[in-house]
Amino acid sequence: MTFDQTIVFSVLAAAMVLFVWGRWRFDVVAVAALVACVVAGVVPMDQAFAGFGHPAIVVVAVVLAVTRAFVQSGLVELVGGALMGAFKAPFARRMALVAVAAVLSMFMNNVGALALMMPVALQVAREGGEPPSRLLMPIAFGSILGGLVTLIGTPPNIIVAGYRGDLTGEPFGMFAFAPIGLPIVLVGLAYLLTVGLRLLPKRSGGDSGKPLFDVNDYVVELKVPRESPAVGQTVAAFERSLKSEAHIFGLIKGGKGAISRGRRHHIRAGDILMMEVDPGDLPELTEEDKLKLLVDPKALKEQLEAEEIVHVEAVVMPGGRLAGWSANGFGLDRLYDIDLLAVAREGQPVRRRIQSVPLRPGDVLLVQGDAESIHENLQHVGCLPLAERGLRLAGSSIWLPPVLFAGAIALAATGVLSVPVALLAALLLMILGKALSPRDVYDAIDWPVIVRLGAMIPVGGALEQTGATTLIADGILGLAGDLPAWAILTVVLVAAMTLSDVMNNAATAVVMAPIAAGIAERMEVNADPFLMAVAIGASCAFLTPIGHQNNTLIMGPGGYRFGDYWRMGLPLELMIVAVAIPMLLIVWPL
């Protein structure tokens, strides 16, 4: 083993450990790996940022922006509403939700597809008295499966297609993945809707069909007498002085007029504090802090609604700006006019000081804010509102984004334009047609994903340029002995699946693609089935909540625990292997 190979292996091993550890963001780990490779000399300085100009980066970014256009057009919500109206039986509704999520993710970002379907699924669960855990995991897994069908369905497909272009001069086409992906989707959806359901927990962090939070349980209105120590303090200072975990989210000056939500207002005698508090802490507030309980929670809720202040449940998105921050540290109320009232983690309420709890991806938040701006503000900080919002139409025709997108797909599929150019042209026309604003485009792009991918592409290149891929390929073939080619192909697929369950799927594709091609070269067989195996395996992360963003996103709303994923995911992965290997050998002969 050469010095350069030792460096590359050490960097990748350290990156994998940090990916699994989870204390550092994935994009930070990827950039650290890139810097280490550049400093060590295994990535030339003039190639350090070449990954950010890779066509895969353009395609991923454009697909994320186009996903936003579909959301804002209202077409998806219109179709979803029609399906829910057409199907009344629980099984039929579940089948419709999972199937729509799978179809959407074939042509848009699968995280975006899940984000569109989650509010509908939660509403269906509540109306039917069914635990969300029975719906969310099948929908999340279905959306991951759908991404296997097309080039743009998932980042690993884009990465592997680009690598094949570098290797042979011709990348995989738009629908080159469909002959393998479609059978996997059909078998996978059949499993998710039948046997898989029996492996799911009936858990929602509460009774079936009920919200995680009940505002009436802890929202109270307290008047400030002259003798209260609150008099003279600012709202923020008085809240910090409380021994309980009570949170002040509103103030009525002099007991009259509109509700003020300013944290710097000084409290005076006669003011009324609107508070979120555990019922057990009320005696302390009324006795030690001399506050007087005025009205019952129901009356307060009516008053809040009259002031157009609403309560919304939202989930913290993986890679969102709020992830890793507390509400106080982030300035959620001060900068975004959003009050955090409660947090649920893995289906259970967090019983710590709510404002200082570091928030994790998948946490479900109960927040309060202005009815007109709260949904937009939540999306801006990286949270997905779970309340049904109704149809939102962009300024242009509802059909403009899908028509332009279909045109781009047709041009790319027929070879008239390359995929990045066709999609970029469609996005430009959407902007000119006012289906999207330039700000919408920049807000829609998940920049941590772009940074992570752009940083890992040169690292993957270093793996190949130093000869490390040949070394790994020789090692795998040496261990395999006299195993037939189909068995070694299975090893590659399972290895990609395993890595993807603990490491980001894009990083898995970047690392595994040159290794798979190296194995095929040493065996003197066609590299295409091995590259396809990497694309499939890297996308099929079903065993852990950290393997895919969709898995993380459903953890809080579904009340899932770490072990729930592999119970449903392991049989699914075994079925995918059983379907994929024969299809790979038929469609892409060795």
What was the pLDDT predicted at 218? 54
What was the pLDDT predicted at 559? 82
Percent of the chain with pLDDT over 90: 30
pLDDT band of 201, cuts 50, 70, 90: confident
Secondary structure string (H, E, C) spanning 63-118: HHHHHHHHHHHCHHHHHHHHHHHHCCCHHHHHHHHHHHHHHHHHHCCHHHHHHHHH
What was the pLDDT predicted at 407? 93
Q: Which is higher by pLDDT, 368 or 365? A: 365
What was the pLDDT predicted at 205? 45
The pTM for the full model equals 0.78
What was the pLDDT predicted at 211? 55
460-505 pLDDT, tens digit each: 888 888 888 888 888 888 887 778 999 999 999 999 999 888 777 8
Q: Is the pLDDT of residue 527 over 80?
A: yes
Lowest mean pLDDT: which of 340-349, 446-455, 557-566? 340-349
Question: How many residues appear in the chain?
Answer: 590
pLDDT average, residue stretch 443-463: 87
What was the pLDDT predicted at 463? 86
Q: Is the pLDDT of residue 519 over 60?
A: yes
pLDDT average, residue stretch 45-57: 88
pLDDT average, residue stretch 248-265: 76
| Structural domains of the chain, with CATH | 225-290 (3.30.70.1450), 310-385 (3.30.70.1450)
pLDDT average, residue stretch 522-542: 94
What was the pLDDT predicted at 209? 45
Q: Is the pLDDT of residue 525 over 90?
A: yes
Q: Which is higher by pLDDT, 367 or 371? A: 367
What was the pLDDT predicted at 297? 52
- CA gap 9, 15 in Å, rounded: 10
**Phi and psi angles of residue 252, each rounded to the nearest 5 degrees, phi first:** -110, 110
Q: Which is higher by pLDDT, 198 or 371? A: 198
Lowest mean pLDDT: which of 129-143, 333-347, 388-402, 542-556? 388-402
What was the pLDDT predicted at 389? 43
Alpha carbon separation from 226 to 231, 249, 262, 290 (Å, rounded): 7, 21, 21, 9
Alpha carbon separation from 311 to 18, 156, 365, 510 (Å, rounded): 37, 38, 10, 42
- Tokens linked to 374: 């709260």
Task: Find how far residue 217's CA is from the centre of its chain.
Answer: 30
Q: Across all residues in the chain, what is the average pLDDT? A: 84
DSSP states of 340-359 as a string? EEEEEETTEE--S-GGGPPP
Q: Which of 178-192, 396-410, 475-489 has the highest mean pLDDT?
A: 178-192
**Phi and psi angles of residue 293, each rounded to the nearest 5 degrees, phi first:** -70, 125
- Tokens linked to 274: 């609107």
What was the pLDDT predicted at 274? 80
What was the pLDDT predicted at 144? 95
What was the pLDDT predicted at 577? 97
Helix/strand/coil percentages in the chain, nearest 5: 60, 10, 30
What was the pLDDT predicted at 191? 96
Lowest mean pLDDT: which of 36-45, 141-150, 197-206, 325-334? 197-206
Q: Is the pLDDT of residue 298 over 70?
A: no
Lowest mean pLDDT: which of 114-118, 267-271, 400-404, 484-488? 114-118
Q: Which is higher by pLDDT, 396 or 70? A: 70
What crossing angle do the helices spanning 468-480 and 447-465 adopt, rounded to 10°?
Answer: 80
